[in-house]
Structure 1
Amino acid sequence: MTTSAVLSDSAHVEADAPARRDRLRLILVLGALVALGPLTIDMYLPAFPAITADLLTSSAMVQLTLTGTLIGLGVGQLIIGPLSDALGRRVPLIAGTIVHIAASLLCIIAPNIAVLGALRTLQGFGAAATMVVALAIVRDLFTGTAAATVLSRLMLVMGAAPIFAPALGSAVLVAGSWRWVFAALAVLGFLLLILAIVALKETLPPERRRPARLVPVLQTYKILLRDKQFLVLAFVAAAGMSALFSYIAGASFVLQEGYGLSEQQFALVFAVGAVSLIGASQINVPLLGRFAPRQIVLAGLAGASLSGAVMLTLAVTQTGGLLGFIVPLLFVLAAVGFVLPNAPALALSRHGEAAGTAAALLGAAQFGLGALVAPVVGVLGNDARAMAITMTSGSVLALIALSAVMARSRV
């Protein structure tokens, strides 16, 4: 983008930025909608052992259903993002939520692990609409530090999903089988569909929309892929998300089978981890008044790498038991909480003219890398050591990449 284009786009965003009360309402609505993705990912985690036994399959195969969900979330964003730039934000959001509801209902009657995996991919595709459209709406209305602040507040709202999702899943499992979890997701999807229809206004006027033709869409992706700083920031955001998905993929097996926690105890520990992540994202807001987003991201990656190294050392030496695993894990999740709001805000600030497509590529990178990383935990053994390796590797690589770019230019 040229300097004049950036200034023009920033002025437009500032003029249209909502007032404080409207901003709070927007954050609550977007937070509720974005929560569909984490709920879809996390609610069935306590049911992993039950699904393994009921469908006569292996733990690695059950984890692949999570990979399918993440693939659906990634691919869905690549398709839905450009559509939201062409059709506006509301239509793709509503259509995607309907797809999610239909897939959830079909998951209830899945006869085997292969069908369940395919339906989970479709479920993720539908949930992708809420995530990519929410990011695009934030970029429609905010830029720079303001966007990072809104995303931090948005994480507070959507962060309730990882806290409550395993607990909700555990409560459902007490009342019925793992199939009931997908019935609950269908009901939640329906409620969020009503919320989207009633409470969310269109933020992309017709004059700012882009052609829905394939060639312009591919040209936009080409521009994004040529922006090295955007790619590095997208990788940083993806690495932070991959650390989170490594934890999500392995937590049920590590904590329940490795450390012997019950489904309810697992949900409690999982909630503590989510609180650590969310708490850091909220501390991020006042920090933005003193430090640039790129500085916070760099510090967050350094903290995640150091804490991950401690977690790996304790896991390999089998020191400290459950406490030796959880304490450094909480520090890793807190560090990730500083990365996740700021890296996407920095990346999106570079391409406000194609916010939906940029958000799509960003989201695809996050969930695509997550889809690759999630089964690695299972392949490496589904233990504390495997989780520590996968969580730490992404943070270290992102730290190296961002440091190299910052050494050459001002991100």
Structure 2
Amino acid sequence: KPKPKPKPNPNPKRLAQRALQVERDLKVIKGAHAIVLSRALRAKDFPLTAEDKARGEPPPPKKVFWYRTRQEVDLLYADYRILVDRTGYQPPLFMVENNIHEIARRCNILIAAYATRVQARWRGLTVRKFLKIFRRECVRLREFRSACVMKIQRCYRGARARRCATRMRTANKNAKEQAAYAALRAEEKREKDEHLYKDILRNRYKKERAEERTARLIGLTHPGLAGGNKMKAFYESSYGSDEVSTRMVALARTTRYHQEKEKHKLSAARDRAEHVRDMVAKAQEDRTQDRGLVRHRDEEDEWATDLAETNSGRAMRIYFQAELRERSREVIQRQSRHATKSRVRDILKAHNARGLKFQYPKNINGEPLAALYETSTPRRRSPMMQRRLTQRPSSKKSGALRAAASTPDLILGGAEPDGNRTYHP
């Protein structure tokens, strides 16, 4: 098939215009960098740009050629027509012009691309620099605004915290004072109850001693049956009661409980302080001492010291617990031995002065009321009592004394006229 003829250029140029354009292209090629020229010669595809297409430029060739020797290149830059003439128009003039035009076009494209890249890099550096400055200024502005806001917030939080802290401090102080007051009142109540309980126990003890003495004097108990122990004989009889012993055991148990409680409280405080000391010592050995633990240890020591020194004398009572217990035992023994001796002495002395001996019945520990039914001789009155009963009653005496004065001695003695005792319920 015959090759198609190339389309004629719609915008033909004159010879001078073509020569001028080639000279311009050679100037572009000569001023291009060696890398740009090398790439323009080796590249195979450089499509037309939008401007070239708008001017109606023909499609560019895929391959170009260039001169190798330095003399040919210099002559080309000086006058390309002379070079073409000296080479014998091999290649022809139009082909050399088109080749120069294509190389110049490629150089312009590469120069524009490289310039675009350089401009992009430069714009990137410039933008990043200004962006850095812009961000720094934004941060500085934000810091300034934040500083103002933080100052306002700090003032607000400080005012609010002071209000809350004042209320909280007052509440904590009130709570501590209430707890301390409650503990103090509880301790006072316990001591008051303990004193009251001791008073009740003392009164019960006196009453029991009086009952024993009365039962022994009227012949309801016989100490001889208990080896001479009058209290044992009274307890073994039907008149005895274990109320005093029960109350004494309860009092001792309560006292021991409170002593153990205080002892455990102080022991727990000492254990906590010792535990903190051990932790601090271990931290010091490991070179990781914590100042908070040291402060906590000091607070525990101060708390234990305050508790031992200012807690209403509890520590002193616990310290002298053995001495106090021994003293209490001695006081109880002394009161048990000498509580009623002064009164009993007068009673026994008056009883012995009469020279009477009571015949204790053998079945005294049997029926409680059996002694009241037994027959006995009329009880004799002392001379003083007989004179009081037989003297004439005066008008100033009470009705009981007048009735007693008018009552016969036999009836007042508790016996009937026939000489027999009778139980009167």
TM (norm. structure 2) is 0.22
Bigger proportion of residues as helix: 1
Larger radius of gyration: 2
Q: Which has the higher contact order (CA 8 A, sep 6+)?
A: 1
